[in-house]
């Protein structure tokens, strides 16, 4: 299926690994022109080179921290008029007792999970409106819709981002600028691999055993973690020409973990 976005310019923030990388791959496969930001240079350059070789797409790496003014300026200088904006970031650490979360934890986290995507949307959506076409997809967390103490640093700011995104979506939909959110559950991302590998080493188990412990404890119906590339495919669908009547939506992708009729 041709998604109708060949030649469209796309910024993907946090695109060197995980669901960000999956989004870059899916958009590159559709012929979009990619501008990919991340803080870690080595992994970013490797990712962009691999995807460019695999797909033949133009994939430009931008080493920058998108949570800072300097980083945002660098990214927008490389692609000042994007047709597509996709935003994600490394998730905040899991938390235990909510009382242990400090003000500094909140402030550090808000810069990347809430304020950065808001600033990017403010910067690029007016141009999309002027051109009569645009797509924005924020990759957040299922905890934005289904709160859990273990994700308390992640869920509340992403819930605020969803609220903001839906408000903006209603204001710009008439201009064929569509703003949507994806709220993922547990996937085999780089951060999950690192944290669960460390946990396995501490417990004398394996990565697979620790993953299964989580699955059993949280009763994930699919009985597995997700593939971040599959999340990328849904990102590309939200960015497609065919998504011109879908806006202000938040798609949960979590293997059936959360329970809601709608």
CATH of the domain at 40: 3.40.50.720
Average pLDDT over residues 10-19: 96
Instruction: List all residues 6 or more positions away from 22 whose beta carbon is below 8 Å from its beta carbon.
Output: 227, 228, 229, 230, 231, 232, 233, 235
Query: Which of 55, 49, 53, 44 minimizes the C-alpha distance to 18?
Result: 44
pLDDT at 240 over 90: yes
> Is there a single domain that holds both residue 86 and residue 201?
no
Average pLDDT over residues 152-176: 94
pLDDT at 22 over 90: yes
Query: Which of 109, 206, 201 minimizes the C-alpha distance to 154?
Result: 109
> Is there a single domain that holds both residue 202 and residue 110?
no
Q: How many domains does the chain have?
A: 2
At residue 93, the pLDDT reads 73
144 DSSP 8-state letter: G
Average pLDDT over residues 20-44: 97
Average pLDDT over residues 41-66: 97
Instruction: Quote the domain boundaries for residue 248.
Output: 9-187+227-253
At residue 79, the pLDDT reads 98
């Amino acid at each position: 299926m041709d998604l109708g976005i060949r030649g469209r310019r796309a910024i993907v923030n946090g695109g060197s690994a995980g669901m960000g990388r999956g989004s870059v791959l899916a958009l590159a496969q559709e012929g979009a022109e990619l501008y990919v930001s991340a803080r870690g240079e080595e992994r970013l350059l490797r990712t962009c080179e691999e995807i460019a070789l695999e797909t033949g797409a133009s994939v430009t790496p931008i080493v920058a921290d998108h949570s800072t003014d300097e980083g945002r300026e660098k990214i927008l200088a490389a692609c000042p008029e994007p047709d597509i904006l996709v935003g994600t970031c490394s998730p905040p650490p899991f938390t235990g007792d909510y009382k242990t979360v400090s003000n500094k934890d909140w402030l550090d986290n808000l810069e990347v999970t809430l304020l950065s995507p808001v600033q990017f949307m403010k910067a690029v959506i007016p141009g999309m409106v002027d051109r009569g076409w645009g797509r924005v997809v924020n990759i957040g967390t299922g905890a934005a819709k289904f709160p859990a103490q273990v994700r308390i640093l992640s869920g509340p700011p992403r819930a605020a981002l969803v609220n903001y995104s839906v408000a903006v979506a209603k204001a710009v939909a008439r201009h064929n600028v569509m703003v949507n959110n994806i709220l993922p559950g547990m996937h085999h991302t780089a951060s999950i691999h690192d944290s669960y590998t460390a946990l396995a080493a501490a417990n004398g188990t394996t990565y697979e055993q620790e993953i299964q412990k989580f699955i059993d404890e949280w009763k994930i119906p699919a009985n597995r973690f997700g593939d971040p590339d599959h999340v990328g495919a849904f990102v590309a669908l939200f960015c497609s020409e065919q998504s011109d009547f879908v806006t202000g939506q938040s798609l949960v992708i979590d293997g059936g973990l959360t329970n809601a009729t709608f």
